[in-house]
Amino acid sequence: MNRIYALLPAFLLSLALAAPPPAAGERLSVITGGQTVGHLEATTEGARTVIVYDYRNNGRGPTLREAIEVDAAGLPIRWSIDGTTTFGNPVSERYSTDGQLAAWTDSTGSATAAIEGPTLYVAQGASPWALGLYARAALRMPGQRITTLPSGTLAVERGPDVVVAGAPGPVTVTRHTLTGIDMTPSTVLLDRDGGLFAFVTPSFIVVREGHESEEERLRGLAATWATERLQAIQREVAHRAPGPVRIRNVRIFDPRTLALSAPASVVVEGRGIKSIEPARARPRSGEVVVDGAGGTLLPGLFEMHGHLSQEGGLLNIVAGVTSVRDMGNDNPVLDLLVQRIESGQLAGPRVVRSGFIEGRSPFNSNNGIVVASEAEALDAVRWYAGRGYWQIKVYNSMKPEWVPAVVAESHRLGLRVAGHVPAFTTADAMIEAGYDELVHSNQLMLSWVLGADEDTRTLLRLTALKRLANFDLSSPPARKTFELMASRKVVHDPTLTILEALMTNRNGAVPAGAVDWFDHMPPGTQRSLKQALADVSAPGDDEAYRGAFASTMAAMRELHRRGIMIVPGTDFGGGLWLHRELELLEQAGLGRGEVLARATLDMARYLGREAELGSIEPGKLADFFLVPGNPLDELRATKRVAMVVKDGTFYFPEEILPRFGVRPLAAKPAVRVPKGSTF
């Protein structure tokens, strides 16, 4: 090297020595369902890094460009983020600081804050690359914790080393878990220099290019790490009594009479309900006694459109959701999750499984089983039938001409068929092909306004909803669909909650579905809630989307008027969102008692589980939850869950929610445990 320098003219040598180091580039692949669906590129020159993040799965995904400048401590001093979110909402986020005052603008508005000591700005719309920056910043601080803006504290915990193979050679990386931003932790793998090697979840990873072959193992490790955390929580918060438990002074909702009982006591023994006795009945020796304080016991709720995860299992339980119909998942991952729930290792609802079948296309979802022919689709039906699945779910890229055969084979094998309306066909055609259930109100209604050549495998299946504003539900296309559904007894799963969010959420505003619990959430979750999903920036779009949701609710009222069953499902994770779905069913014309019956006994009957679930009766499973108020007076009372019992195991949200950064909505009831007993 010295010899080369000696040959350079003096002025060129001076330029070479003064030049900045070459730009450092990073390239990571985005992988879901075993398929690479996008990339993350980061180029660093000095203190400035430019990031491009883009992926498409199921016809949608974010596109972001970031520029970050950091100070000597690695903390951002300038940050810009531009692009679009998964559902198309524009992103234009800015942050800057002079070391004393910080200022930022995101979808919630603009704000400033004085800085005292090391402070990290946590971006609202950043790519996963930011997680590596956050981890490095926290690792430099005492206790590996750092104050964050707009609020809160971020902590990072260093885990074990992992050796990851790949074409460039093996790399030793270290697991780091970040907490304090949202309800669930984020896990990243950092290399020996602190660079981001991977962001990992059980279903989705972003990993350094050249190491994609390890994605399945990394997803498995992410699942294992999440499992270990949740198993530890389960050991601490799942209460099982060695003998009977008496819940005193409660009124029981009866889904048959749509009324509350007189004050009563419910005695649970093992997994089941032993007896229901008058409130004045004296406790027997050895019983654990829970004071219901005049509250209401409701049967456990059914979430009829879930895509269950491990964290979602516990978060559904603490919201009183004790049964979930899973509408499509990574099949082996869901199998393992169900085993862990049923064995008591993890908290979670009981699961009714739908066999997800998707057609292969440039836009297909990477979930369930993806097929390339009718024969493969029929094989998938048989695979699901042989493993005890309850129904088949048909998805967007399935060729419409395959559907009649899929329906016929499913029915032959005793499976129901639900689904989206595949691209280039109509809801009416799918009903005539034999669908038992239509999924999502947009899938039901878009046939009325789409052209035959319009492709709903893209975001069009959401953005075209604007055309439904002020739609005439007495028009021939709508009347035909309603009449077909009624005559063939087709059920509808509208997922109103997620469509309300899509069409009515606006930047900076608390969503209608979250007003009762928004203030209880951690700061990052609050910030995400105040970010719109859809792009409403074009003139007239705001009004059009709101009008489309009004048309949607009018259609639901018409379905109910015609006696067509509407099932309660969110496609939004369930939990507290399911309670919003119930409120929307009330707006669709169901009485409060009808709504509660629909989410309990009606769904137990629909799924063939009425003998053990859906109502609080002796001989049935102990499957119910306690709220302090009366939901027949105010449906929102169902959100204030004080206790949940599932299969005879007792959970108290007050003990669990703080572990997710959430302030409980109701206090734990008083519990009296006999001397020498455990609970």
Q: Number of helices (H) and strands (E) in the chain: give both, helices first.
A: 19, 33
The predicted-structure confidence for 138-162, as pLDDT tens digits, reads as follows 999 999 999 999 999 999 999 999 9
Burial class (CB in 10 A: 0-12, 13-18, 19+), 613: buried
Query: Is 50 exceeded by the pLDDT of residue 21?
Result: no
> What SS3 class is residue 216?
helix
Domain co-membership, 200 together with 306:
no
Domain co-membership, 446 together with 534:
yes
Q: What is the DSSP letter of 426?
A: -
Alpha-carbon gap, residue 368 to 356, rounded angstroms: 5
Domain co-membership, 207 together with 312:
no
Q: Stretch 365-372: mean pLDDT, rounded?
A: 94
User: Which of 312, 123, 125 lies closest to 202, judged by CA?
Assistant: 312
Domain co-membership, 216 together with 307:
no
Query: Is 70 exceeded by the pLDDT of residue 129?
Result: yes
Does a structural domain hold residue 564? yes
The predicted-structure confidence for 308-354, as pLDDT tens digits, reads as follows 999 999 999 999 999 999 999 999 989 999 999 999 999 999 999 99
Domain co-membership, 217 together with 308:
no
| pLDDT value of position 259 | 98
Cis peptide before 150 (omega within 30 of 0): yes
Q: Stretch 255-283: mean pLDDT, rounded?
A: 97
Domain co-membership, 84 together with 189:
yes
Q: Residue 555 carries which side chain, given as an amino acid letter?
A: A
Does a structural domain hold residue 389? yes
The predicted-structure confidence for 206-263, as pLDDT tens digits, reads as follows 999 999 999 999 999 999 999 999 999 999 999 999 999 999 999 999 999 999 999 9
Q: What is the DSSP letter of 145?
A: E
Does a structural domain hold residue 473? yes
Query: Is 70 exceeded by the pLDDT of residue 16?
Result: no
Three-state SS annotation for 366-405: CCCEEECCHHHHHHHHHHHHCCCCCEEEECCCCCHHHHHH
Domain co-membership, 157 together with 54:
yes
Alpha-carbon gap, residue 62 to 54, rounded angstroms: 6
Domain co-membership, 229 together with 313:
no
Does a structural domain hold residue 675? no
The answer to whether 183 touches 151, Cβ cutoff 8 Å, is: no
Q: What is the DSSP string of 476-522?
A: HHHHHHHHHHHHHT-EEE--HHHHHHHHH--TTS--GGGTTTGGGS-
Domain co-membership, 215 together with 352:
no
Domain co-membership, 84 together with 217:
yes
The predicted-structure confidence for 94-127, as pLDDT tens digits, reads as follows 999 999 999 999 999 999 999 999 999 999 999 9
Alpha-carbon gap, residue 577 to 572, rounded angstroms: 7
A 10 A CB-CB count for 249 gives: 16
Q: What is the DSSP letter of 35?
A: E
Q: Residue 112 carries which side chain, given as an amino acid letter?
A: T
**Position 278 confidence tier, pLDDT thresholds 50, 70, 90:** very high
Domain co-membership, 232 together with 305:
no
> What SS3 class is residue 317?
helix
Strands 369-371 and 171-179: unpaired
For the chain, the straight-line distance linking the first and the last C-alpha, in angstroms and rounded, comes to: 73
Domain end point (choices 584, 610, 636): 610
Does a structural domain hold residue 639? no
User: Which of 373, 297, 337 lies closest to 202, judged by CA?
Assistant: 337
The predicted-structure confidence for 488-537, as pLDDT tens digits, reads as follows 999 999 999 999 999 999 999 999 999 999 999 998 899 999 999 999 99
The answer to whether 669 touches 643, Cβ cutoff 8 Å, is: yes
The answer to whether 107 touches 507, Cβ cutoff 8 Å, is: yes
Q: Which two tokens stand for residue 532?
A: 């719109």
| pLDDT value of position 593 | 98
Does a structural domain hold residue 340? yes
Query: Is 50 exceeded by the pLDDT of residue 486?
Result: yes
CA distances from 537 to 60, 66, 84, 540, 545 (A): 19, 21, 12, 8, 11
Q: Which two tokens stand for residue 414?
A: 């005793």
Q: What backbone torsions phi and psi does residue 298 show, to the nearest 5 degrees? A: -120, 145
| pLDDT value of position 23 | 55
Among 167-176, 328-337, 352-361, the range scoring the smallest mean pLDDT is 328-337
The predicted-structure confidence for 26-52, as pLDDT tens digits, reads as follows 999 999 988 999 999 999 999 999 999
Alpha-carbon gap, residue 604 to 411, rounded angstroms: 21
pTM for this entry: 0.89
The answer to whether 426 touches 443, Cβ cutoff 8 Å, is: no
Domain end point (choices 236, 252, 274): 236
The predicted-structure confidence for 544-595, as pLDDT tens digits, reads as follows 999 999 999 999 999 999 999 999 999 999 999 999 999 999 999 999 999 9
**How does 299-337 read in b/e, with b if 16+ C-beta sit within 10 Å?**
bbbbbbbbbbbbbbbbbbbbbbbbbbbbbbbbbebbebb
User: What residue has token string 């983020």?
Assistant: 81
Domain end point (choices 576, 595, 610): 610
CA 26 to chain centre: 30
Does a structural domain hold residue 128? yes
| pLDDT value of position 10 | 35
Q: Stretch 184-198: mean pLDDT, rounded?
A: 96
Total count of domains within the chain: 2
The answer to whether 88 touches 101, Cβ cutoff 8 Å, is: no
Does a structural domain hold residue 360? yes
**Across all residues in the chain, what is the average pLDDT?**
94
Range of the domain at 104: 19-236
Helices (H), 126-251: 129-139, 215-237
Domain co-membership, 219 together with 327:
no
User: Which of 611, 494, 509, 608 lies closest to 551, judged by CA?
Assistant: 494
> 337-342: long-range contacts at Cβ-Cβ below 8 A with a sequence spacing of 24 or more?
337/308, 337/309, 337/310, 337/313, 340/227, 340/231, 340/310, 341/313
| pLDDT value of position 34 | 87
| pLDDT value of position 1 | 31
Which sign does the torsion angle of CA 543, 447, 561, 511 carry?
negative
Q: Which two tokens stand for residue 158?
A: 């260093």
Most confident range, picked from 293-302, 359-368, 451-460:
293-302
> 36-42: long-range contacts at Cβ-Cβ below 8 A with a sequence spacing of 24 or more?
36/212, 37/61, 37/366, 39/209, 40/127, 40/128, 40/129, 40/206, 42/129, 42/196
As a whole-number percent, the residues of the chain with pLDDT over 70 amount to 97
CATH of the domain at 404: 3.20.20.140
The answer to whether 208 touches 28, Cβ cutoff 8 Å, is: yes
